[in-house]
Amino acid sequence: MTVKFNKRNLKFLLLTSIVLTLLILLSLDNCERIKNIVNRRKIKDCPLKRQISPLTFMPLRRQIEHERNLWSKLDANNWPPERFFSNVNLTEEDDGEQTVKLINFNKKWPLPLSPVESGGRYILYDCHKQGCGGWGNRLMGILSAYFLAIMTDRSLIIRITKPCSITKFLKPRMVDWYVEEDDFELDTKKSFTLPIPRRLSVGVLKKLIDALMNRKQKIVSYTVAVPAYVMMFAKQKSIRELLLKKGFTEEELSELNYFQIPTKYNVYDILFKLQPELQAKKDEILSAVCKRKLICAHLRTGALENPNSYMVKVVRAKEMIYKFLERQLERREFEHAKVFIASDSKEIETDYKRRFGKKALIVRGSIVHVERWKDKSVDKNTACDGFAKVILDWEILGECNLLVSLPGRTFAATSIMRNIHRKEIYTLSFSADEPFIAPMVSFQRPHLRKLRKEIEGISYINCNLTTKVLDYSTCYR
């Protein structure tokens, strides 16, 4: 059978083949485009890197020298290098409504002296037998001890043994703060445990400064658990003069408080580095985040010891916080984000895991308060495991792209100090017992103004504390 083709049939076949070819090409192109979109939107967990740093095998002195050299070369907003989001560039940071303003330190930040440089004179931050608060309170105390070491030419050493030695979890980074009890005659030290600044007497403050300035006094022990001391140091006349001599400027000291310190000069990262075992745990937790963003909240309940307390209201407001975080997940930039909630409540931890499912970031470990564990009849091993979890929770809060905190809680406040994003930070508060969430800056600025006014009104703020005998007439100039 012979098929005859006329011109009309040929034109039809040609047009049909062209149309089919175009449809096939378009189909393939669409498939490729869809595939590319899916690949772009699909974010896999990062492979876990278990590389052991060569620094681990160096003597501590060599490790510290290496870290100092590295620190001196890095950009101020890229410190330390192993921070999870440390590649974020904040050099163009503005003072917008959701941004914590940072001080621009023009001079190299001073570090505490080495034992050789200080002539064996130390300030000891001591958390051994006395009460020193939770992890946030301890970090605030260490921060103020750091400034005292700088201004009085002393070395800084740290002893935290409650509920177990801090050296199980942290090691020195750029300052050799490590001390064993047998290294010093610690019983010969002068000890100061200070209250909040407005309750501090001028006599006790004078004794502290005298002890620190006394070259024959080798060890001064210092315990403080409140954040206001950094601002008080920047305002008190004699202490301010000591800081000016160390290279700070009037402008820097006028703004100095625990929120204003730039990330490169965050005292935690200058002093501490996670021990390899804890760093491996953190890496494993954050490998689930990888290129995603991280949205977080801090919900402390205080174990609901007082049924009429503020903490009860926090628990009642948890549904609002969950809904707030769920709304953030609807935003394009957070659609693949992970969710992390740090809490001292097992109930809340279980609740948020159930609520957010696969998006929930999990930090396993015992839940304890590092100061009050004995009151709860918790054994030391469990308390020590809880201490590790507290540090990991705190470290991860410092990586969050968005954070909801509670006002006046030093745990979240100190993590915000080292958070390199610092843009989407919110606070849960209450108006006539009704909860609401607002940008932290709307609470921070009035709080700092109130605190500054309170400190400037303290009776000893203008006293000359560096004279041999306190002249009270200088206090009223």
Is the distance from CB of 476 to CB of 462 less than 8 angstroms?
A: yes
d(CA 273, CA 295): 24
pLDDT at residue 31, rounded to an integer: 46
Is the distance from CB of 132 to CB of 223 less than 8 angstroms?
A: yes
Do strands 219-223 and 122-127 pair parallel, antiparallel, or not at all (unpaired)? parallel
CA 202 → CA 208, 452, 460, 471, distances in Å?
A: 10, 18, 6, 11
Q: Encode 112-123: b = buried (16+ Cβ within 10 Å), e = exposed.
A: bbeeeebeebbb
The amino acid at residue 126 is: D
pLDDT at residue 370, rounded to an integer: 77
The string of pLDDT tens digits covering residues 202-214 is 999 999 999 999 9
Higher pLDDT, 170 or 23: 170
| Confidence band of 375 (pLDDT split at 50, 70, 90) | low
The string of pLDDT tens digits covering residues 305-343 is 555 566 777 778 888 999 999 999 999 989 999 999 998
DSSP 8-state code for residue 57? G
Tell me the Ramachandran region of residue 408: left when phi exceeds 0, alpha when psi lies from -120 to 50, beta otherwise: left
Ranges of CATH 3.40.50.11350 domains, the chain: 277-439
CA 38 → CA 44, 175, 290, 292, 314, distances in Å?
A: 12, 48, 18, 15, 40
Task: Enter the pTM of the model.
Answer: 0.83
CATH of domain 277-439: 3.40.50.11350
Q: Encode 47-56: b = buried (16+ Cβ within 10 Å), e = exposed.
A: eeeeeeeeee
Q: Note the helical H segments in 177-227.
A: 202-213
